[in-house]
């Protein structure tokens, strides 16, 4: 059984992706040896990226956020582009991602479920006015709306719940799929762990490191996801 044959025979594929999809666009992940969580700051990254820290120390939050969470020059890689092609060909029904970079949408995917939000969407905490990424990048301190309110990124911080609509959409996409391709995620944390575990059907895992679901997968590929998906013929 090969990835090509699985995709050829699938009627409805869902893709569930993590940080490993975007590392090939030169966006570092969190948990690898040289990832964000293994670098030294005045505060732990998990603390900085929490709701309470955002409320109590917004200047520190935005300094870190601009420096370590936003990569405006990053472009979609081969994995993003191939997934968009699979959707256009009627093979792929949904991309479910834990990434906040917006590269799936930039690559042309239409049905993208961003579980942790997106750096490209922001809103005023007072009046609700929506802003793009420029509102965050064009100031050196706390970005503010014309009404005076703080402009908050639409990303899910620690201590914040996932959006119920996104979670429901992800569950629906996985439930309706006959094939689930999991790529670029170790499946060590929720919701990735729980969403992948509930799937019933043909399971493919593409990840450099082992995952807890490898034993249940129909195909496990320990390789770069961009190279792997780029080899697929549609």
Query: Looking at the annotation, which residues are catalytic?
Result: 116
The candidate with the shortest Cα–Cα distance to 31, out of 16, 51, 17, 45, is 45
107, 88 Cβ separation under 8 angstroms: no
Contacts with 233 (C-beta within 8 Å, 6 or more apart), sequence order: 4
Token pair belonging to 68: 């370590």
CA angle 176, 191, 74 (to 5 degrees): 95
User: Residue 21, class by beta-carbon neighbours within 10 Å (0-12 exposed, 13-18 middle, 19+ buried)?
Assistant: buried
Cα torsion angle, 134, 151, 168, 35, sign: positive
CA angle 39, 48, 144 (to 5 degrees): 125
Adjacency order of strands within the sheet including 219-221? 112-114, 92-97, 13-17, 179-183, 202-206, 219-221
100, 116 Cβ separation under 8 angstroms: yes
Query: Can you tell me the distance from the alpha carbon of 230 to that of 234, in angstroms, rounded to the nearest whole number?
Result: 10
Token pair belonging to 167: 């979670």
């Amino acid at each position: 059984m090969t990835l090509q044959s699985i995709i050829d025979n699938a009627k409805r594929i869902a893709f569930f992706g993590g940080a490993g999809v975007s590392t090939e666009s030169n966006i570092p992940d969190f948990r690898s040896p040289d990832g964000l969580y293994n670098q030294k700051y005045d505060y732990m990254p998990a603390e900085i990226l929490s709701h309470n820290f955002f409320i109590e120390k917004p200047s520190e939050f935005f300094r870190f956020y601009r420096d370590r969470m936003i990569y405006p020059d990053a472009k979609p890689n081969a994995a993003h582009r191939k997934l968009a092609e699979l959707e256009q060909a009627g093979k792929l029904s949904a991309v479910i991602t834990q990434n906040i970079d917006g590269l799936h949408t930039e690559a042309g995917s239409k049905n993208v479920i961003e579980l942790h939000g997106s750096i490209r969407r922001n809103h005023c905490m007072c009046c609700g006015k929506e802003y793009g990424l420029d509102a965050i990048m064009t100031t050196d301190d706390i970005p503010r709306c014309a009404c005076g309110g703080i402009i908050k990124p639409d990303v899910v911080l620690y201590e914040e719940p996932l959006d119920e609509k996104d979670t429901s959409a992800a569950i629906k996409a996985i439930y309706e799929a006959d094939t689930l391709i999991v790529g670029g995620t170790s499946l060590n944390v929720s919701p990735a762990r729980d969403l992948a575990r509930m799937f019933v059907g043909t399971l493919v895992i593409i990840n450099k490191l082992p995952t807890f679901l490898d034993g249940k997968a129909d195909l496990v590929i320990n390789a770069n996801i961009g190279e792997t998906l780029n080899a697929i013929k549609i």
